[in-house]
Amino acid sequence: MGQEAVELGHGEVNIIGVEENTLIASLCDLLERIWSHGLLTKKGKSALWSHMLSFLELEEINDSGKPIDPKLLTPAVSTSTAIQVATQMVALVPGLLQSSANLKNYLTPPTPDYFTGNHLWPNLSTHDSPNRNYKEIHSDAAANSVEVEKEKPAALTHRRSRSKGGTELPVLKAMPKSLTSDMKKVKAMTDIKTDVGFARAFVRLALEKKTLSTHLKELLADADLLRSLYKRYAFLRCEEEREQFLYHLLSLNAVDYFCFTNTFTNTIVPYKVLIFPSTKFGCFTTSANPWISIAGQLGETGVIEIPKGCLEFNTEQKNLGVLTTLRIGHDNSGMTPKWLVEYVLVRNEITGHLFKFPCGKWLGRVDDGSTERLLVGELVHPATETEDLGTLSRTPPRCMSPAPTGSPRHKLMEQSLSIPEIQEMLGHAVNNIVKHFHKPEKERGNITYLLCGENGLVQCIECVFKCGFKSARLFRHKFYSWDYLEKVKSCFETFLECPESLPPIASTDQAKAGYWLFCKRMNQINNATSETIGKDGRFQLFVCVGIRDRLLQQWLPLMANTTVTQQMYEENSFLRDRRAMSFLVHILDTLNDYNVCLESSLTRGLDI
């Protein structure tokens, strides 16, 4: 299951499906046999879980026996409050001042202040006149109170210091990695009824978090507990064998498991969501009512309303599995609804898996007018176990943020990618999809990321449409690929209404069928999608549906032969280069052998 499995040919360092369940069940049986060997008294059906419960009980007893935390004690009376009380006492007995030469003889000696060393009571020295009235003393006490408050240092807080712009980004704190914390998570699962079930759930969770060896080492470190539970000859009390056993378990960390996530599908899982907006352009917050929807391989959450001004919140949902997409938007209400979101982080609070959903685009009537965005997630692997997850918020890598000059992302934004570079990107994107389908069905990853993620097929097709476009000189507004598709649709509708206007090459029945299907799909997308989905979202849906229906490679040559393409593109553009178009059609034809299924979160349940 561990390093040996990788060496024997599991190149993707993951084992999924029936083989994984069989191996993990065998591992659980092995652990039960080891923990049952030499047991003094058997308690319950699972020796492993019984040992862990005893360990947890001792930990709770030790925690309860610790000294009282000073933070839980009643706070001390402040200096100003003490002076005010003393002054009121003096004011209530003015005759006492006249009958006594020194009030300090009748009062408890003053206590020095914790911060400044000043006395809490008013300074009534022996040189004070016995005839001073209580109003004068009250004024002295008030003056002392002001001085003490000025000298008192500012209270310490644990809030993160604000940035220069006066905004504060959320910080993702590291999760506890102790044995007791994971045990409490497993005990809280309501869909498990037996001790054996709890033990197996714990093993699966520890395998997925790569902490099985660490947790068992912590469990076996309590020598007194071992002596009270096991006989002298027990396996767990043999130090050399025990250390060798833990060393073998450490090799399991070489494999990525999702055995807990994919097994307990009905478990209620808490998710932590952190939204990182841009601190520039005055768009840190929005006056609109934002919402979010998360989707995974096992289900979707539906719309979750986000309180205004809230960038961090928790939500409990039925297990979504490995997260794939996230849709974020708002209702475009208020005076300043536009919102520039850098990215969103979502963490499974049981397994600790962290998913990042890059955005880098506006929500509102800006750019393409979209008030909602579909974000594709990717699993974040911390470089080290001690890495501070809060550092993810310090350098947010926006999808559309400025990139180093000469990089593929910078060239894409500047529309300066050459045809060979675009062909290379297309080759990598299609090759990744082909490799996806050549894996066993249960070992396949997320095809949505291969289609719509960074350097995915949709982004590569967008590069094709942006290569050699003339709008930089002819128009002032930003060009969107959807604008070109709308003009092509109008041209195709003219061809269908007036067959005599068709060019000789495009007068075949196959070409006419392509025109009709293209116009039908465009109308379906326009009619099915609401105004909240902008031009980028509609183009993304158009490409995905075209690949699914195996029609995109038929439409592209028809689009290239229209007068719209000649008017809007240079002669050296990708769409007007016959060799480049032949390459594109040929490489997309390789996907005809595979059944591409789109997630409902991508199509939003539309009947397209």
Q: What is the pLDDT of residues 150-169, one digit of tens each?
A: 444 444 444 444 444 455 78
* Residue 179 near residue 215, CB atoms below 8 Å: yes
pLDDT tens digits along 432-487: 999 999 887 767 778 888 999 888 999 999 999 988 887 654 445 677 889 899 99
State the pLDDT confidence band at 62, using cuts at 50, 70 and 90.
confident
Average pLDDT, the chain: 77
Q: What is the CATH number of domain 268-400?
A: 2.60.60.20
Instruction: Return phi, psi of residue 193, to 5°.
Output: -115, -20
How long a stretch of residues is the chain?
A: 608
Contact 601, 327 (CB under 8 A): yes
- pLDDT tops 90 at residue 319: yes
Beta bridge partners of 292: 304, 328
pLDDT for the residue 167: 57
- CA distances (Å), 240 to each of 31, 121, 243, 245, 436, in order? 17, 68, 5, 9, 44
Same topology between domain 268-400 and domain 419-603: no
Per CATH, the number for 3-67+194-254 is 1.20.58.900
Average pLDDT over residues 140-159: 46
Residue 605's pLDDT band (cuts 50, 70, 90): low
Strand 339-348's sheet: what is its strand order?
312-318, 268-277, 339-348, 354-363, 378-380
Residue 118 has pLDDT above 50, yes or no: no
Rounded to an integer, the average pLDDT of 499-517 is 76
Residue 54's pLDDT is 92
**Which class would CATH give 419-603?**
mainly alpha
**Domain regions of the chain by residue span:** 3-67+194-254, 79-149, 268-400, 419-603
What pLDDT is recorded for position 165?
Answer: 47
User: How far is 321 from 297, CA to CA, in rounded Å?
Assistant: 5
Cβ-based neighbour number of residue 542 at 10 Å: 23
Q: Compute the average pLDDT of residues 383-396.
A: 45
- DSSP for 63-84, please give it: HHTSPPPGGGSPPPPPHHHHHH
What local confidence, expressed as pLDDT, does residue 518 receive? 92
Indicate the range of 128-137, 154-163, 320-329, 493-502 predicted with least confidence: 154-163
Rounded to whole angstroms, the Cα distance separating 308 from 275 reads 12
Which pair of structure tokens corresponds to residue 349?
Answer: 């609070």
For 401, residues 6+ apart whose C-beta sits below 8 A from its C-beta are: 360
Q: How confident is the model at residue 80 (pLDDT cuts 50, 70, 90)?
A: low
113/152 Cα distance (integer angstroms): 10
Residue 147 or residue 181, greater confidence? 181
Long-range CB pairs of 283-286, under 8 A, 24+ apart, other chains included: 283/336, 283/338, 283/339, 283/340, 283/362, 284/165, 284/167, 285/309, 285/339, 286/330, 286/334, 286/336, 286/337, 286/338, 286/339, 286/363, 286/364
DSSP structural state of residue 477: S
Distance of CA 568 to CAs 463, 534, 562, Å? 15, 22, 10
Name the DSSP class of 209.
H
Q: Does 64 or 201 have the greater pLDDT score?
A: 201
Confidence of residue 365 (pLDDT cuts 50, 70, 90): confident
Strands 372-376, 323-330: pairing kind:
antiparallel
Q: Quick one: pLDDT at residue 184? A: 93
What is the rounded average pLDDT of the residues 59-87? 57
pLDDT value for 417: 85
Alpha carbon distance 484, 200 (integer Å)? 56
Residue with tokens 């006989």: 231
How does residue 412 score in pLDDT terms, banded at 50, 70 and 90?
low
Query: Residue 592 burial (CB < 10 Å; 0-12/13-18/19+)?
Result: exposed
Q: Is the predicted pLDDT of residue 74 greater than 50, yes or no?
A: no
Answer left, alpha or beta for residue 128, where phi above 0 means left and psi between -120 and 50 means alpha: beta
Measure CA 25 to chain center: 31
| pLDDT at position 10 over 60 | no
pLDDT, average across residues 302-309:
89
